[in-house]
């Protein structure tokens, strides 16, 4: 599924992104989540949405929010109290802070299914930050 989400200014990143350590935000264009994000015609949020997080060093990371065990676009991981992504159905957990979405527990760990990672980097056309498929 296509992925492209732009934050045009630092102010946009501060308002909509994850500018501080352990921040997390879910983007699902079809649901207009978050409701105040100004989606454009070229924005795409992947299969299950984009889970955007910020690690303890302030580095943004992005993943497809769909649980790879459940393989349903509407079964999305959430950030639990341990700062791990957790599936509400199978309860598999994933390290999204330091291990690039690697599985920690549950069926995902048993099968070796991690979250799909996306790239978060400065834009090439003047955008402050842009999310796209990882290379």
pLDDT one digit per residue (tens) for the chain, 135 residues: 899 999 999 999 999 999 999 999 999 999 999 999 999 999 999 999 999 999 999 999 999 999 999 999 999 999 999 999 999 999 999 999 988 999 999 999 999 999 999 999 998 888 899 999 987
Number of domains in the chain: 1
Give the global pTM: 0.93
26-35 own/partner pairs: CB under 8 Å, 24+ apart: 26/50, 26/51, 26/52, 26/65, 26/76, 26/78, 27/52, 28/65, 28/76
What domain range is 67 assigned to? Answer: 3-133
Give the CATH number, domain containing residue 63: 2.102.10.10
* Residues facing residue 120 across a β-bridge: 131
């Amino acid at each position: 599924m296509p992925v492209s989400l732009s934050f045009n200014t630092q102010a946009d990143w501060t308002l909509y992104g994850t500018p501080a350590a352990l921040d997390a935000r879910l983007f699902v264009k079809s649901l207009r989540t978050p409701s105040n994000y100004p989606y454009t015609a070229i924005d795409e949020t992947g299969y299950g949405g984009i889970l955007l997080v910020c690690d303890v060093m302030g580095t943004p990371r992005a993943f497809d929010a769909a649980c790879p065990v459940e393989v349903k676009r509407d079964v999305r991981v959430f950030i639990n109290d341990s700062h791990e992504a957790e599936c509400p159905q199978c309860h598999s957990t994933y390290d999204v802070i330091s291990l690039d979405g690697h599985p920690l527990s549950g069926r995902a760990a048993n099968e070796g299914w991690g979250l799909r990672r996306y790239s978060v980097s400065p834009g090439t056309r003047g955008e402050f930050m842009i999310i796209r498929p990882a290379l």
